[in-house]
Amino acid sequence: MPRLINTAELVPLVADLIIDACCNINDDNVTALKESLNKEESPYGKDALAMIIENICVAKKEKIAVCQDTGSCVIFMEIGQEVSWQGEGLVAAINEGVRRGYTAGFLRKSIVRDPLDRINTGDNTPAVLHTEITGGSEVKITVLPKGGGSENMGAFTTLSPSAGKEGIQDFVLKTMLCAGGKPCPPVILGIGLGGTMDYCAFLAKKALIRPLAERNKNPFYAEFEQTLLDALNNLGIGPLGMGGRISALAVHIEQYPCHITALPVALCFQCHAARYKSIVI
């Protein structure tokens, strides 16, 4: 028997997740920022980190948004294949949750209905919804309000397969140097490797919702994550681009098989306002 879920149940869940994500940064991110304060050598960088941490604490206490840019609402759903939906359409229910969350939370509405006519939709819909089918009868929903400053620095390239790790590192460092302070560092860098162009970009985004302490399960890629993190933190960009040691808190790689002719690489930047929340129903 499939598990029946009415899509109406999702509406308040999505609304609450959005408000919580925008006002309440996850503990692992706060811990990483506090640890960075001890490692940062630049006085300007230290000041910037201290302000970032204080801002996060005030937002949590006062239940206000960590940043005025409450982003595009990116939503990941992992849907167990034994789930069957009732009620209005799934996408419509998700967007109703987004509408209610951004309205009730007094969160900035940043979405325009068309890339060229630039009319604001007024309620931050539509969400960018990614769905994956998993085993079982549970549904995991993760909301990731994604700020424009960091999102705009994302990049994609298809390298020659012979470029290998060196080619990837070169692309990562050039992109980060070009981005400088624009993605509001210290960043978390999501890297997608492999797949097709679209799937590679999806992997880079999905890499941002991995807990900070979690390394890639493959030791080869776990070591590469650390190599890239060290290299990013030697660029001198520093917190908020003020100069210093701590330009990135983490590098997360998600890899996937790909075509023999290609080495697709996608980069997705997350700013210090690294907001996401999940629930399993």
Q: Is 18 in the site for ligand SF4 (CB under 6 A)?
A: no
Contact between residue 215 and residue 181 where contact means Cβ atoms under 8 Å apart: no
Tokens 């994609």, residue located = 156
Q: Would you count residue 153 as binding ligand SF4 (CB under 6 A)?
A: no
Read off the tokens for 203. 């992997």
Q: Which element (helix H / strand E) includes 157? A: strand 155-159
**58 is a contact residue toward ligand SF4 (CB under 6 A):** no
Residue in this structure with the two tokens 């209905």, named with its chain if needed: 113
Q: In the bound complex, what is the minimum distance in angstroms from residue 258's beta carbon to ligand SF4?
A: 30
Distances (CA, A) of 195 to 35, 150, 181, 261: 35, 23, 30, 12
Note whether 122 binds ligand SF4 by CB under 6 A.
Answer: no
* Interaction of residue 94 with ligand SF4, rule CB under 6 A: no
In the complex, the smallest distance separating the C-beta of residue 146 from ligand SF4, rounded to whole angstroms, is 8
Mutual angle of helices 90-104 and 10-23, in 10-degree steps? 40
By C-beta, is 87 or 149 nearer to ligand SF4?
149
Joined together, the tokens standing for residue 158 give: 């298809």
110 contributes a contact to ligand SF4 by CB under 6 A = no
Among 67, 111, 189, 249, binds ligand SF4 (CB under 6 A): 67
CB of 90 to ligand SF4, least distance (A): 27
Q: Which residues bind ligand SF4 (CB under 6 A)?
A: 67, 69, 71, 147-150, 183-184, 271-273
